[in-house]
Amino acid sequence: MEGPSPEPSGTATPYISSTPEMTATATVLSLSIGDVNGDGQITYLDAEWIREYLAGQHPLTLPQKERANVVADYLIDGFDAQAIDLFTNGKLGLLPLSLYELPSGDVNKDGLVTQQDAVKLSRFLAALEDLSPAEEAEADVVWDGDIDLDDVNDIISYVEGDLYHLPVLPEDSQISHEVE
C-alpha cells in the first residue's frame, strides 16, 4: 500500500451498518465514516491505513482523517482501527460510534467498575451465570469481539489501578493523533 489515493467524489453517509452475512467487507454507495482509503468499501485495508498513519508511514488528507475518526472523539487512534476490524468481522453493527458505546467494564450495570464486575464475568465464563446482552457489551473490555479471561484480568487491573482506562487495545495501538 502506497500513500493516500486521490479523493473520489461522493457525499458523506453518516451511518452504515453491517449484516451477519457481510463479514469480509461492507460496500457503501458513497464516502462513509470508516472508508478511509475512499474505495467505496469498509474493509481491513481501512484499518491498516489508520495503523500506517499512526506509525508515521503515510499521511492522511483531512477528509480521510474525518472518515478515520469512527469513534467520534476527534482523535485518530487504535480504537478507530479496532472499530473497523470489528465492523468488517460482523462483531460491530454500526459506524460511527460514540465514546458512550465503548465497553466500560461495568458488567453488573451498577454504575461502577469494581471487583464485583470481574466476579460476575468470571461466573459467566464458568457457565455459572448468564449475562444480558447489555452486560455482555460492557464485558468485552479488551475490545476484540470475544469475552474471555483477558477481559476479567483487565477489569481487575483497572480496579487495582494498574490500567487507567477501559476498554484497552494492544500496546502498539496506543498512539493517537488529533483530527486537525
Question: What cell numbers appear for 139 in the block?
Answer: 464485558
pLDDT at 131 over 80: yes
For the beta carbon of residue 171, count every other beta carbon within 10 angstroms. Answer: 8
Q: Domain total for the chain?
A: 2
pLDDT at 123 over 60: yes
Residues 25 and 73 occupy one common structural domain? yes
Residues 20 and 95 occupy one common structural domain? yes
Lowest mean pLDDT among 41-55, 88-102, 115-129, 155-169: 88-102
Given this model, what pLDDT does residue 16 score? 44
Average pLDDT along the chain = 79
Residues 130 and 152 occupy one common structural domain? yes
Domain presence at residue 49: yes
Residues 59 and 45 occupy one common structural domain? yes
Residues 44 and 59 occupy one common structural domain? yes
Residues 83 and 27 occupy one common structural domain? yes
Q: What is the DSSP letter of 8?
A: P
Give the residue with greater pLDDT, 62 vs 25: 62
pLDDT at 7 over 50: no
Tell me, letter by letter, the H, E, C secondary structure of 119-164: HHHHHHHCCCCCCCHHHHHHHCCCCCCCCCHHHHHHHHHHHCCCCC
Residues 61 and 136 occupy one common structural domain? no
Categorize the per-residue pLDDT at 47 as very low, low, confident or very high, splitting at 50, 70 and 90: very high
Domain presence at residue 4: no
Q: What residue numbers bound the domain in which 75 lies?
A: 16-99
How far apart CA 158 and CA 54 sit, in angstroms, is 25
Q: What is the CATH number of the domain that holds 41?
A: 1.10.1330.10
Residues 78 and 27 occupy one common structural domain? yes
Residues 23 and 94 occupy one common structural domain? yes
Categorize the per-residue pLDDT at 93 as very low, low, confident or very high, splitting at 50, 70 and 90: confident
Assessment of whether the complete model's pTM goes beyond 0.85: no
What percent of the chain stands above pLDDT 90? 37
Domain presence at residue 30: yes
